[in-house]
Amino acid sequence: MYEITENFVSRRIMDSIVLVPVGDMAARMNGMITLCDVGAQLWEMLMERPRDRGELISYIVEEYAIDEAVAAEDVDGLLQTALENGSLRVTTGRT
């Protein structure tokens, strides 16, 4: 399961979401992160609750009628980048 960290605040601007670092992250990172339309939709799903990789891939496959392998590659890229920049973390999904 993946969940959003408290390292960023997000704001929707048209079809994109902008992530702005806060707290200690703001001191370590100079700039913002802009998510494209697909990334923004996945981010909004993650704002609701932690999600697993499969849920995110299924959403992309259904929403955009693309091959599962292509969707998996896109989701994996987003998850990897988000884990590296500290905007997401892996969780057990328990509350």
Over 70: is that where the pLDDT of 21 sits? Answer: yes
Tokens coding 56:
């995110």
Number of Cβ atoms within 10 Å of the Cβ of 11: 10
Asked whether 70 and 56 are in contact (CB, 8 A), the reply is no
Place of tokens 């994109």: 16
The DSSP element (H or E) to which 88 belongs, if any, is: strand 88-90
What is the value of pTM for the model shown?
A: 0.87
pLDDT higher than threshold 70 for residue 38: yes
**Mean pLDDT for the stretch of residues 74-81:** 95
Q: Which amino acid is at 29?
A: M
